[in-house]
Amino acid sequence: MARPKRLSIASEILPRSFYERPTETVARDLLGKILVHGETAGRIVEVEAYLGPNDLAAHAARGFTPSTQVIFGPPGRAYVYLIYGMYECLNLIAEPTGVAGCVLIRALEPVAGVPLMQERRPIAKTVEQLTSGPGKLTRALGITRKLNGVDVTRGVLTVHQPEREEKFAIGVTPRIGITKCVDWPLRFFIRENRFVSKVRLPGGG
DNA sequence: CAATAGATCATCT
DNA sequence: GATGATCTATTGC
């Protein structure tokens, strides 16, 4: 019977009220927070905001369907979906119940369970390659579609306030990998952080 | 270093 | 049948 190990780097779980705010605000504020799943944990260093019906790049723009219903549901839940037949992407639901909005977690800085992450992603040659992308971090942390809809304010997948809040500069650019609303500045990341996914952007950080 | 092709499947047309 | 909130290997300069 293993006693649950308390991570010295993370303290309280973020309350539901944290998520029940405008999606862009939640996205920005998620930077620096700690995502925990089992033995593995990582500091969120890159996110993207996906809005409601007007945001044609968002899955919620397709309307309320079996696959998108989580996005319209209560804040503080996980939306996990399969992309390109191979990788899964993790989103956290924002906005009050009934309003669409979610935040795609694009990159983490590993803070716990690195050996297990390396086991799950043996292809990664460096620590930077472990969680520096939306498909990479879900694989490294063992996050799958089974977690779609779970409450991240309690349970196996949680987001925590960091024990020590560190100051950092936030960068803003358009989102990556989309074909609609390509100019909307909804990607937020911690500047000068090695674990932010590598993208060539004019004047980027 | 830059560009491109291939893997692989749920969802939508 | 096509597309997509991706990642990796390979080719080419």
Confidence of residue A200 (pLDDT cuts 50, 70, 90): low
pLDDT of the residue at A131: 98
Confidence of residue A111 (pLDDT cuts 50, 70, 90): very high
- Residues by Cβ under 7 A, strand C: A 48, 50, 57-60, 71, 79, 82-87, 89, 91, 102, 104, 121, 123-124, 129, 133-137, 175-179, 197
Q: Of A66-75, A78-87, A111-120, A195-204, which range is least confident?
A: A195-204
Query: Could you give the CA distance from residue A159 to residue A77 in angstroms, rounded to a whole number?
Result: 11
A26-36 tens-digit pLDDT: 999 999 999 99
Query: Could you give the CA distance from residue A74 to residue A127 in angstroms, rounded to a whole number?
Result: 34
Query: Could you give the CA distance from residue A93 to residue A74 in angstroms, rounded to a whole number?
Result: 7
Task: Please report, for residues A4, A41, A182, A186, the alpha-carbon distance to residue A78 in angstroms, rounded to integers and kept in the order given.
Answer: 22, 16, 24, 19
Query: Could you give the CA distance from residue A77 to residue A177 in angstroms, rounded to a whole number?
Result: 24
Which amino acid is present at A142? G
CA of A177 to C1' of B3 (A): 16
CA of A69 to C1' of B11 (A): 14
Q: Closest nucleotide (CA of A177 to C1')?
A: C5
A156 touches strand B (CB under 7 A): no
Q: Per-residue pLDDT averaged across A49-72, rounded?
A: 97
Across-strand partners of A183? none
Query: Could you give the CA distance from residue A11 to residue A165 in angstroms, rounded to a whole number?
Result: 11
CA of A84 to C1' of B5 (A): 14
Q: Positive or negative, the Cα torsion across A110, A114, A117, A123?
A: positive
Note whether A50 and A59 are within 8 A (CB): yes
Is A6 or A160 the better-scoring residue by pLDDT? A160
A131-179 tens-digit pLDDT: 999 999 999 999 999 999 999 999 999 999 999 888 999 999 999 999 9
Query: Strand C positions with any atom < 7 Å from protein CB?
Result: 3-9
A64-107 tens-digit pLDDT: 999 999 999 999 999 999 999 999 999 999 999 999 999 999 99
Note whether A19 and A154 are within 8 A (CB): no
Considering only CA atoms, which of A88, A73, A51, A68 is closest in space to residue A180?
A51
Confidence of residue A205 (pLDDT cuts 50, 70, 90): very low
pTM of the predicted protein model = 0.94
A66 touches strand B (CB under 7 A): yes
